[in-house]
Amino acid sequence: MLTLVTGAGGFLGGAVARLLLARGDAVRSFSRSAYPALTALGVEQHAGDLADPDAVARAVRGCDAVVHTAAKAGVWGPEHEYFQANVLGTRNVLAACRKHGDRTLVYTSSPSVVAGHHDLNGVDESVPYPQHYLAAYPRTKAQAEREVLAANGPDLATVALRPHLIWGPGDPHLVPRLLARAGRIRRVGDGSNRIDTTYVENAAAAHLLALDRLRPGAACAGRAYFIAQGEPLPLWDFVNRVLALAGLPPVRRSIPAGCAYALGAAAEVVYRVLRLPGEPPMTRFVAHELSSSHWFDLSAARRDLGYRPAVSMEEGLQRLGEWLRAASP
């Protein structure tokens, strides 16, 4: 079986590619540039931009299935860049699948597509999309997810997975972001909000489970699924445990949630009006994410995909600590 993995040079996409290779599948990647590590693994690489329909079509041609993990992530940036990568890019993947007769597409979405202004305490997939979003990333990912699920039919089976806060050894996003801000992080709110996260191998395994079960008319076809550890805990407990693994002090100072939200709104205005480079020190989306609960009912993923996190939170943290120690100078 030849599977195209978009974004195979990234954190999650790379983990998906390695699992596919480990079980004997052939893997083709589609990324902006070539990665020597993928070449060493035997991955056939196609370089290109998701916004280029011809490049996407060439990568899809001849594949049996597509796992679409590539996206523009982040909490700040021009709306058109998020739209081009997340919406237009996904449309090009869908068009290429239809053109070349691919029958299965596993799409990597995000729980942020249902993040509005309220806590998400143990919600399942029936929770609706909000009317308004606080950032371009969840807004464009939600639009792309809707279009992927709407494309499901007798000729192309689609499914959307929503892994939450992926982390683990090699993490280039969440963990480095925490470590880089150590000493400057403030607890937002009273600290009682709980979250669930996803160890990277569990997130990748969920994609293979979906890939193996997905076909026209399957129970998972045309549906979205939350993916996580199934071990919700207070957000700041998780943050402090990660900091401790790197030998850094815990977060001790705090700021009221309302103040953080107001500061985020003000910072967004300043950065937009003055066209400042980089990312504001706080945004409304970050303030909400840091002060609200977001953990999920995984019953549907267990039932339809057979999803069971193989790596527990404790084991994952142990592996992360070993990686951090090995990476430290």
Query: How do the domains of the chain map onto residue ranges?
Result: 2-168+195-232+294-311
The one-letter code for the residue type at 209 is: L
Catalytic residue among 107, 133, 137, 199: 137
Residue 303: the pLDDT is: 98
Residue 315 confidence class, pLDDT cut points 50, 70, 90 = very high
Give Cβ neighbours of residue 179 (< 8 Å, ≥ 6 apart): 242, 243, 246, 248
Q: How far apart are CA 242 and CA 55, in angstroms?
A: 39
CA angle 126, 130, 131 (to 5 degrees): 140
Burial 29-52 (b: 16+ CB within 10 A, else e): bbbeeebeebeebebebbebbbbe
Residue 328: the pLDDT is: 76
CATH of segment(s) 2-168+195-232+294-311: 3.40.50.720
Structure tokens that stand for 90 in this block: 């996904």
Residue 25: the pLDDT is: 96
Residue 116 confidence class, pLDDT cut points 50, 70, 90 = confident
82 carries an active-site annotation: no
pLDDT tens digits for 186-221? 999 999 999 999 999 999 999 999 999 999 999 999
Q: How far apart are CA 101 and CA 139, in angstroms?
A: 29
Q: How far apart are CA 245 and CA 168, in angstroms?
A: 12
Tell whether the torsion through CA atoms of 124, 125, 128 and 129 is positive or negative. Answer: positive
pLDDT tens digits for 284-309? 999 999 999 999 999 999 999 999 99
